[in-house]
Amino acid sequence: MRFRRFPLLLLLGAGCTLPAIADYLEVRRTAAVYTEADRTSDVVFKPTTGVSLALLDSSTTNGYYHVEDAVSGQSGWIYKTLVRRHPGTPTSGTAGGAASTTPTSAGGNPAAGGFPVSKCSVPYNEEPGAPTAFDQSCGLTGNAASDSGEFPQNLSKNDLCEKSAPVPITIPDLVELQKLVDDSGVIYGNKFSGKGPPKERSVFHNLTSLHSGVKLEEDDVVTYVGFLVEAHYMPQSEKPPKTGKGGETVNCNSTEHFKADIHLALSDTKGRITAKDPNRVKKLCGTISAEMIPHLRPGVWNGDNLDQLIDLERPVKVTGHLFFDASHQPCKGATPVGSDPRRITEWEIHPIYSFEVCKFDAVGRCDVNKTSAWEPLSKAAGVSLEEELDN
């Protein structure tokens, strides 16, 4: 609710500060706080990605939130797509937009100093794993440099807090969304080719609607129904290279399975894609990716159980966070770009919130909106369950 002008003047004239709303904002991307709700006005300060700002008004003006930095006391306006709103007040140590020198996670820990396990209700549809030493040491941004494009990208990769209603998507939807990104002119791709993810990710939030009229953007919750055709840990081998840096920065370069993402290849066509399949590359270039992150990952979500599921050839329903992997480029037709993952688009479901298996073999009986047709992996008939161990 907005304060009326006259009472507000009385409050300020009496030497009182503007009261904060019982919500706060987490800065998710490169942003500036302006003197007015207009980007042409003067910049008050530029908050560090990952910090929290106090909310001074529950509503927006011209798409801007009125905020205050609790450390410096500076206030101003920040655009709504650059932040996420959370209920309650930030944990001590999470504020500090203007004065912060060390990037902090929304859980109040240094960026690579711990995953905020209680930041929000874990969205998994299976019993989540207990916090581990890995969770305590590797935070939301992993070990990415704070001035790199991987820093904000890793925040998005570890986003377990989106609460919007899932939007059903298809592979053609994501292919169309890929074209919108490419048409925007944003530079992205493998950092070893001189590209890498952009530091500013607003382009992935400001795309036009699809031809169907559906508006999709990064941080949406989406659902895909299709077939699991391949699954592996990243990296696929637990043996680290001689440098000891074989994993991804989002997971602090770990090469152990329980500390690494599980990559799923999803397709509209059933059937395992094997390593010896002569058409392996062509088939993978028609798939989309979804990933199970290691943080609090349910023990039942592991390579052994997923491998069994592939051969059952029953449809799966994958729900989670829509994410654009700007560290790679998709296949050009049936031809991959260098060593980049073989897939049709860089839009993926990452992290996965819910993984379900249809009770039936025929995809026509697996209505995305019919809850009675689906069951969690732990209940799926034909899967002899194995639990993932943290060693």
pLDDT band at 106 (very low <50, low <70, confident <90, very high): very low
Does residue 8 form part of some domain? Answer: no
Per-residue pLDDT band for 243 (boundaries 50, 70, 90) equals low
| CATH code of 115's domain | 2.30.30.40
Does residue 110 sit in the same domain as residue 215? no
Predicted local confidence at residue 216, as pLDDT? 97
pLDDT at position 91: 52
* pLDDT tier, 87 (very low <50, low <70, confident <90, very high otherwise): confident
Q: Which of 200, 207, 119 is nearest to 153 (CA)?
A: 200
Indicate whether 14 belongs to any domain: no
* 340-345 average pLDDT score: 97
Q: Are residues 191 and 153 in the same domain?
A: no
Half-sphere exposure in the Cβ direction for 183 (13 Å, CA): 9
Q: Assess whether 179 and 117 both reside in one domain.
A: no
Mean pLDDT within 143-158: 95
Domain boundary among 104, 137, 157: 157
Query: Is 245 part of a structural domain of the chain?
Result: yes
Question: Residue 41: what pLDDT?
Answer: 87
Which residues have C-beta within 8 Å of that of residue 41, sequence separation ≥ 6? 34, 35, 77
pLDDT of residue 176: 98
User: Is 6 contained in some domain?
Assistant: no
Q: In terms of domains, do 118 and 238 share one? A: no
For residue 62, the Cα-to-chain-centroid distance in whole angstroms is: 27
Would the pLDDT of 381 be above 50? yes
The pLDDT assigned to 21 comes to 63
For 347, which DSSP code? Answer: E
Instruction: State the pTM of this model.
Output: 0.75
Which 3 state secondary structure label does DSSP give 307? helix
pLDDT of residue 199: 93
Please indicate, yes or no, whether residues 151 and 175 belong to a single structural domain of this protein: no
pLDDT digits (tens, 9 = 90+) for 325-340: 999 999 999 999 999 9
Q: For the chain, what is the domain count?
A: 2
pLDDT of 10 higher than 50: no
65/207 same-domain check: no
Same domain for 150 and 184, yes or no, is no
Quick one: pLDDT band at residue 375, thresholds 50, 70, 90? very high
**pLDDT at residue 11 tops 50:** no
Cβ-based neighbours of 295, under 8 Å, separated by 6 or more: 115, 117, 134, 135, 158, 160
| Residue 46, in any domain of the structure | yes
- For residue 104, the cross-strand partners are 110
Do residue 313 and residue 336 come from a single domain? yes
φ/ψ (deg, to 5) at 314: -100, 145
Same domain, 198 and 320: yes
239 or 178: which leads in pLDDT: 178
In contact, 139 and 109? CB cutoff 8 Å: yes
Give the end of a domain, one of 97, 123, 157. Answer: 157
- C-alpha to C-alpha distance for 191 and 368, rounded to whole angstroms: 37
Do 196 and 289 belong to one domain? yes
Q: How much is the pLDDT for 1?
A: 37
Mean pLDDT of 42-61: 87
299, pLDDT greater than 90:
yes
**Is residue 73 domain-shared with residue 216, that is, in the same domain?**
no
Average pLDDT of every residue of the chain: 85
- Residue that terminates a domain, selected from 130, 157, 184: 157
Residues 153, 52 share a domain: yes
pLDDT, one tens digit per residue, over 248-295 is: 999 999 888 999 999 999 999 999 999 999 999 999 999 999 999 999
Band of the pLDDT at 240, cuts 50, 70, 90? low
Nearest to 329 by CA among 151, 197, 221, 203: 197
DSSP H/E element including 304? helix 303-312
Position 238 scores a pLDDT of 60
Q: Is residue 1 part of a domain?
A: no
Higher per-residue pLDDT: 41 or 298: 298
The pLDDT-based confidence of 20 (bands split at 50, 70, 90) is: low
The mean pLDDT value for 181-189 works out to: 96
Question: In which domain, by residue range, is 284 found?
Answer: 167-379
Q: Is residue 11 part of a domain?
A: no
Whether residue 391 lies inside any domain: the answer is no
What pLDDT shows up at residue 26? Answer: 87
Which tokens in the block code for residue 362? 């025929």
